[in-house]
């Protein structure tokens, strides 16, 4: 893995797709100007509105959003993880929740469909039925780049360690997880689980998150994170506020951690 600067972007996206894309493009430009070679946006960065409108807002991948992000990646010469997009496909009424990795030449290098869908009911606080509006993916995705091997996940996936072990087994050195993590669950588990996934899989972990109120009646947690393979927090976002967070990902540090504590080689129980 190379050493490079990475950035995550924290936003509070709403139902105005044009405004969301304009803000994302501006913040990606800020990240690139700070030296970032990999920039990641949060989950549903391009549009987030009423559940009843999701199917109408979905689009193909590749499609207009990935093409716009591709043009920006090509102009800036960087990799972009395009948060997540509501992906329309033939034969499925519900859109997939899909993140896309775009290379510095503007090409779509891979698209991951969120596998684990968030269905919860906390009486008096929040009820979410993601599976009623979105279809689940069925396969992990890890992509080789000239920065290193990048694994992709989305939000609720964080609670399923077997997914991240599968990415690790497929060579992931950096995991990027766009999110719209809720405030109650975020306060309880966000940092703990992210640091655990980084430590147990000895990888860098980038977690751009939404913040603030949503159209669905609950708040997102913010606190976007960049974490190293030792579990050290390299950068952290605020509870509220749109911001660009950057950190230097040291490839030699990754190699040192894996060499000095070779727990990945010591595994005895494997799927």
Closest CA to 249 of 178, 177, 176, 162: 176
Separation of alpha carbons 232 and 92, rounded Å: 41
Question: Catalytic: which of 37, 54, 142, 155?
Answer: 155
Count Cβ atoms below 10 Å from residue 271 Cβ, excluding itself.
6
Q: Read off the pLDDT of residues 82-107 as tens digits, 9 standing for 90 and up.
A: 999 999 999 999 999 999 999 999 99
Question: Catalytic: which of 54, 114, 142, 173?
Answer: 114
Alpha helices in 96-240 (DSSP H): 130-133, 161-169, 183-185, 191-201
pLDDT band at 141 (very low <50, low <70, confident <90, very high): very high
Q: Read off the pLDDT of residues 203-214 as tens digits, 9 standing for 90 and up.
A: 999 999 999 988
Lowest mean pLDDT among 29-43, 118-132, 188-202: 118-132
Alpha helices in 114-271 (DSSP H): 130-133, 161-169, 183-185, 191-201, 251-260
- 266 exposed, middle or buried (CB, 10 Å; 0-12, 13-18, 19+)? exposed
For the question of residue 43 being annotated catalytic, the response is: yes
Q: Does the pLDDT at position 198 exceed 80? A: yes
For the question of residue 200 being annotated catalytic, the response is: no
Q: Read off the pLDDT of residues 103-113 as tens digits, 9 standing for 90 and up.
A: 999 999 999 99
pLDDT value for 128: 76
Judge if the upstream peptide bond of residue 44 is cis by omega within 30 degrees of 0. Answer: no
The verdict on pTM exceeding 0.75 is yes
pLDDT value for 123: 73
For the question of residue 17 being annotated catalytic, the response is: no
Q: Does the pLDDT at position 217 exceed 70? A: yes
pLDDT band at 271 (very low <50, low <70, confident <90, very high): low
Q: Does the pLDDT at position 156 exceed 90? A: yes
Which residues, in sequence order, are bridge partners of residue 101?
Answer: 81, 110
Q: Indicate the domain borders of the chain.
A: 4-260
- CATH code of the domain occupying 4-260: 3.60.110.10
pLDDT band at 127 (very low <50, low <70, confident <90, very high): confident
Q: Does the pLDDT at position 47 exceed 80? A: yes
DSSP 3-state of 70: helix
> Mean pLDDT, the chain, as a whole number?
95
Please compute, for residue 201, the number of CA atoms within 13 A of its CA located in the half-sphere on the CB side.
29
In whole angstroms, what separates CA 237 from the centre of its chain? 14
pLDDT value for 58: 96
Give the whole-number percent of the chain exceeding pLDDT 90: 89
Tokens of 87: 């992906």
Which run of H or of E encompasses 23?
Answer: helix 17-33
Q: Read off the pLDDT of residues 31-45 as tens digits, 9 standing for 90 and up.
A: 999 999 999 999 999
């Amino acid at each position: 893995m190379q050493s490079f600067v990475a950035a995550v972007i924290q936003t509070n996206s709403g139902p105005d797709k044009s405004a969301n894309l304009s803000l994302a493009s501006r913040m990606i430009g800020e990240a690139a100007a700070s030296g970032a070679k990999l920039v990641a946006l949060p989950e549903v960065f391009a549009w987030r509105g009423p559940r009843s409108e999701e199917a109408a807002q979905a689009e193909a991948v590749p499609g207009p959003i990935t093409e716009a992000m591709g043009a920006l990646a090509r102009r800036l010469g960087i990799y972009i993880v395009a948060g997540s997009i509501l992906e329309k496909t033939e034969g499925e009424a519900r859109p997939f929740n899909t993140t896309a990795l775009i290379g510095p030449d503007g090409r779509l290098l891979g698209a991951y469909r969120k596998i684990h869908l968030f269905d919860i009911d906390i009486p008096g606080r929040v009820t979410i039925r993601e599976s009623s509006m979105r279809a689940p993916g069925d396969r992990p995705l890890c992509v080789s780049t000239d920065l290193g091997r990048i694994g992709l996940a989305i939000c609720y996936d964080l609670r399923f360690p077997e997914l991240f072990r599968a990415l690790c087994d497929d060579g992931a050195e950096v995991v990027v997880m766009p999110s719209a993590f809720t405030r109650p669950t975020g306060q309880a588990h966000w940092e703990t689980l992210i640091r655990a996934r980084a430590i147990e899989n000895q990888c860098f972990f980038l977690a751009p998150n939404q913040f603030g109120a949503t159209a669905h009646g609950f708040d997102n947690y913010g606190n976007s994170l960049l974490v190293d393979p030792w579990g050290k927090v390299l950068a952290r976002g605020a509870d509220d506020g749109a911001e660009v967070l950057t950190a230097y990902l040291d490839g030699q540090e990754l190699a040192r951690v894996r060499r000095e504590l070779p727990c990945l080689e010591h595994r005895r129980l494997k799927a």
